[in-house]
Structure formats: C-alpha cells, structure tokens
Amino acid sequence: MSIHQENPTGVSSEELRQHAAELDRNDPLAHFRDHFIGTDTPLSYLDGNSLGRPLKRTADDVAAFVRDEWGGRLIRGWDEKWLAMPQAIGDQMGRAVLGAAPGQTIIADSTTVVLYKLIRAALAAVQDPDRNELVLDTENFPTDRYLVEGIALEEGLTLRWIEPDPAAGVTLDQVRQVTGPRTAVVLLSQIAYRSGHLADLPGITAAVHDAGALVVWDLCHSAGSVEIDLDGADVDFAAGCTYKYLNGGPGSPAFAYVNARHLASLNQPIWGWMGRKDAFEMAAGYEPAAGIRGFLSGTPAIFGMIAMQGTLDLIEEASMGAIREKSVALTAFAVELFDAWLAPLGAELASPREPGERGGHITVDHPDFTKATVEALWDGDVIPDFRSPHGIRVGLSPLSTSFAEVLQGMAAIRDRLQG
C-alpha cells in the first residue's frame, strides 16, 4: 500500500509526508544525526530506547584505545588514565545528563548489580527496625521487581505493591497512599518501560521523604531523553543503563548516583578490590574508598566506557533542554500518525497522550500484533520493539532519529495491519 493513501481522519498521507519534511527542515538538532552510523540508509530504526545507534567516532575511539592505550601503554594505562575513568565519565554524565554535582556519579556494573547495591545500601541507612516495607509497582521492569522480591526474601521484609494503570504509570497520589511509618525504601522507574509514562520524580521523591523513607530511581529509559535534576529534587539514589539514549553499546556498564549527603555514612554490600581504599595495596581487611568510588566492586569495564564518551560530548553540545524538546516533538508526531493511520484500524495508544507525561517512546496495542509482526517489520528494515501481549513499542532517540524515519516506520506498521 502506498504512503500516499488517504486516511479516515481527513489528513492525507501526502500532507503527513510534507509535515515530516517540514519538521526535519526546522529541526535544530537535525545535523547531529550525521554523527551516527546507519542514518544514511533507508532503514527506519524505532528502537533507540532499547539499543542506541553507534556513533561514527566510536570506531576510531576504540581503534585508538587498542592501538595507543592498551597496545601502547599496556599495564601503565591503569595508573595513567583507566583507574580514574569510572568517576571522570560519571562526573561528565552527572553534569550533562543527570543534574548532579561532581563526586556523586560513577560508572560501575550492570544495572541489575548497581540497583542491588543501592537498594541494600539504602536499607542499611534506614536503621529503624519498624521500617520493614519495600514499595514497588507491578508495571516496573522485571529486573527491578525480581531484585526487590529477592532482597525482601533475604531480609524478611514486606512488599507493598502499587498497581498503576498499564497505559499510564505510578502517580504521586498512589505513592502517598502506600508510604508511611513502616516504609523503608521505594524503588520506581522515572519512565515506565512499556507505556513511556513520565513519573513526577521531584514530587514523588518529596512524598517518600515526607514518609521518612528513602527512594531509589531507575533512570534507564530517561537518562538522555528527558531533563533530570537529581540534586535539585534531593534524590537519594539512582541507577541507569548507558546503551539506550547514551549509545554505549550492547552491555555497556551502568551508572550509580548517590546523593552527597549519604556518601560519608554508607557502605555498599558487594566488597571488591576496586572499591577498597588504595586498591593496589592488596592489604588484609576491607576499608572502603572514600566517596562515590566506594561503590565500585571489581575491575571497571574500560572498553564499555569508551563509546558513551562520544554521546556525552554531543549531549553537552546540544543540551538536554533541546534534546527533550525534540523528543516531545518526535513522540507527538508519532501520535499524530497513530491517530491518522492506526486508530482507524482498531489500534489503541497504550501511552499518555499529554506530551509532558511521557518520555521518548510510545506503545501501540492491537490484537493482531504479535512477535511475528515485529519480525516481519524487521525483515523490511523497520525496527520497532515488541512488548507482550500485543504491543509495538516505538522508541525515538532525539539525536539520531528523523521525522521522516518515524513516518516511514509508522507507515510500515499500518501496512502490516492492513495486510
């Protein structure tokens, strides 16, 4: 079926194509797309919220690292640069992305391991035996739920579940209803991985503190797509991956944020040599390094940090304010295409309609959507994501996605529905 077909909303597909072209012409961030591999091909990539495209400079950065640092300096690289990289890149991430002052962010392990460390550290900081409840929500990413369930089992704690609307997310009122004198720690995601709902991070953080508890935020789907001010909101702890909007590559290490007011009194539970004061002393007994470095455990994944440096440089050049503005415009255009092409075919928008209430992706549900639907789209070089039972998730990375790319992908989804 041609992209020029009329649709029941009265807006022709040709008008939508012209609108996409106009949006691209007026996009102040359009030139950033040229920094990414594959953006000059016909492929429509609608899954940047799962794995970001690589930067063109990444191949050169990795080659230079192998040739000049690893190959040239060998073991000397640890003393000369590598030991400092987790915190140096963490500080840049705090400055560019997280709204965090230096000394509070570090690149560490996988998101799962980082979250485990932060939750256990938060529980140890509570120091009140009457606070024996962990709060989480039924729509959070599986890792988050599994971790909290496992920690509750280990520590004999009670789980308090929030049950949000799957097409929206956790609200401030819901958090207020379940937190109180027995709450120890609350774990939430700033952006719901399925619906794209953007939680009220400042308001919820304040509500958790009003209840006398601590909060851990999962920023996996928000870091690099929305403006964040962790220090301004007085967030206790946060974690997030770096392979989505930060383009660190498959399995690149996650970051940990710990508010400066907690650092002097906290210990994280996974003691390893790199988190010890003077790691190369190799002495008996564990004495944690001062500050955020104490949240390291094993040897840092230096290779996994190289790619994200390029994106952090671009983010600082573009600014998170401009990135968020484009993210809103991209999802708004995707919703416009949904209304014109997919809603008349029986699809439902499983994401908030208000742009300020969603992050960088939307989810569209239809009874005919299956994993096979997405596999067929992939075969045609249109790459969204599938979310069971009947959802197609459209993830739009502001620095690398064009409006024409969104048009092409949504048209392909329409064509699959029409058969």
Q: Which residues are catalytic?
A: 141, 218, 243-244, 393
R_g of the chain, CA atoms, integer Å: 22
Three-class SS of residue 49? coil
Alpha carbons 260 and 105: distance in angstroms, whole number: 10
Distance of alpha carbon 51 from alpha carbon 147, whole angstroms: 23
- Give whole-number Cα distances, 331 to 9, 67, 225, 300, in Å: 19, 41, 11, 36
What gap in Å lies between CA 174 and CA 207, rounded to an integer? 10
Place of tokens 């030991």: 83
DSSP state of 254: P
Token digits of residue 12: 């022709």
Q: Are the CB atoms for 189 and 199 separated by under 8 Å? A: yes
The CA–CA distances, whole Å, from 154 to 125, 150, 268 equal: 17, 6, 16
Q: How many residues does the chain have?
A: 419
3-state secondary structure of 32: helix
Retrieve residue 184's tokens. 């120890």
Rounded Cα–Cα distance for residues 93 and 338 (Å): 34
State the Cα torsion 265-270-274-276 to the nearest 10°: 40
- Strand ranges in 74-122 using DSSP code E only, listed in sequence order: 105-107
Largest pairwise CA distance in the chain: 75
Amino acid letter at 132?
N
Whether residue 42 is preceded by a cis peptide bond, meaning omega within 30 degrees of 0, is no
Half-sphere exposure of 65 (CA within 13 A, CB side): 16
- 168: tokens are 């929206």
Q: Locate tokens 């140890």: which residue?
A: 124
